[in-house]
Amino acid sequence: FELEGELRKGLESQQLRLYLQPKTNRDGLVYGTESLVRWEHPEKGLIPPDRFIPLAEDTGMIIPLGEWVLKETLLLMKEHPHLTFAVNISPRQFRNCNFVEQVQQLLNETGADPKRLTLEVTEGLLITDFNQSSKRMLELQKLGISFSIDDFGTGYSSLSYLKKLPINELKIDRSFVDGLPDDSSDALLVETMMAVAKHLELLVVAEGVETQEQQAYLYSVGCNLHQGYFYGKPEPAEQLLARLKKT
Ligand code: G
Ligand code: G
Ligand code: MN
Ligand code: NA
């Protein structure tokens, strides 16, 4: 099975599916979502993104694929004016020379409100090519878009970039949430991240929250924005949004 060709065909023949995972605030309310793509292969069934995103990144397919995810997300925004929407942007997609224009054009086309859009990027992106990345982030910030650092804490990078870039939010990687509340080094790391975020006035989202004990610990250290199976798994966009509209 020749993945690259199949993925190209899959994108063209509308086999990609937009899934959303809820983000919950201290009141237990869903205030936003993260877009997570899946590939519904006609024979192989639902393929998770870690099986095709790296390939898409290597082959450049991430450019049309990422554009699809962004556009599908922006199209949902008008109907759901009380929610924020986060989209993962891979390094190659972000570095593509047309990225800013592409985002601008999709915003114009869909009429989506950029103030409710967050782009999730990884630390690695910011370290390599710092000057280019920061210039581009500032251009997108001017449009009203926010930035979140995904998988925060896994990149082994210096923290100095946090104050030099237009970043609004950190997402604590789920590997640090896993061991809470008992693992004392995870607890210390999470508390340290909270202190850094407070100092720099950044929002913090904890990823991979699966238990009530993790929830309680995170609340106790002031981390009030949560994402994880405890609140909801990624599910088809229409399904989650329909449920949120009813409540
Ligand atoms: O959805 P899941 O929890 O299985 O996601 C696995 C990985 O795939 C995560 O690292 C996530 O960031 C990535 N991923 C999911 N959807 C997208 C997408 O639309 N674009 C990019 N670049 N990565 C995505
Ligand atoms: O890398 P990124 O943070 O974008 O990807 C999120 C990934 O984490 C997706 O693969 C998503 O399905 C997964 N995920 C979300 N919540 C949980 C959780 O509570 N537990 C576990 N094990 N995985 C989760
Ligand atoms: Mn993410
Ligand atoms: Na992550």
Give the tens place of pLDDT for each residue, 149-165.
999 988 877 788 899 99
CB 89 within 8 A of CB 119: yes
Kindly indicate whether the domain formed by 3-246 is annotated with CATH number 3.20.20.450. yes
What is the C-alpha to C-alpha distance for residues 6 and 151, in angstroms, rounded to an integer?
Answer: 29
Q: Whose CA is nearest to atom 20 of ligand 1?
A: 88
Query: Which residues are within 5 Å of ligand 4 (an ion), measured at CB?
Result: 150-151
**Using a 6 Å cutoff on CB, does residue 210 contact ligand 2?**
yes
Model confidence band, residue 226 (pLDDT cutoffs 50, 70, 90) = very high
Domain ranges of the chain: 3-246
Ligand nearest to the CA of 50: 1
What is the C-alpha to C-alpha distance for residues 131 and 136, in angstroms, rounded to an integer?
Answer: 9
What is the DSSP code (8-state) at residue 124? H
> Using one digit for the tens of pLDDT, what is the confidence trace for 10-33?
999 999 999 999 999 999 999 999
Determine the residue type at 56.
A
**Using a 6 Å cutoff on CB, does residue 214 contact ligand 2?**
no
Could you tell me the distance, in angstroms and rounded to a whole number, from the CA of residue 88 to the centre of ligand 2? 12
Does a cis peptide bond (omega within 30 degrees of 0) precede residue 81? no
ipTM score for this prediction: 0.95
- Placement of tokens 């990144």 in the chain: 57
CB 147 within 8 A of CB 123: no
For residue 1, is pLDDT > 60? Answer: no
Which residues have C-beta within 8 Å of that of residue 223, sequence separation ≥ 6? 172, 190, 194, 204, 206
Mean pLDDT of all residues in 200-216: 98
Ligand nearest to the CA of 21: 2
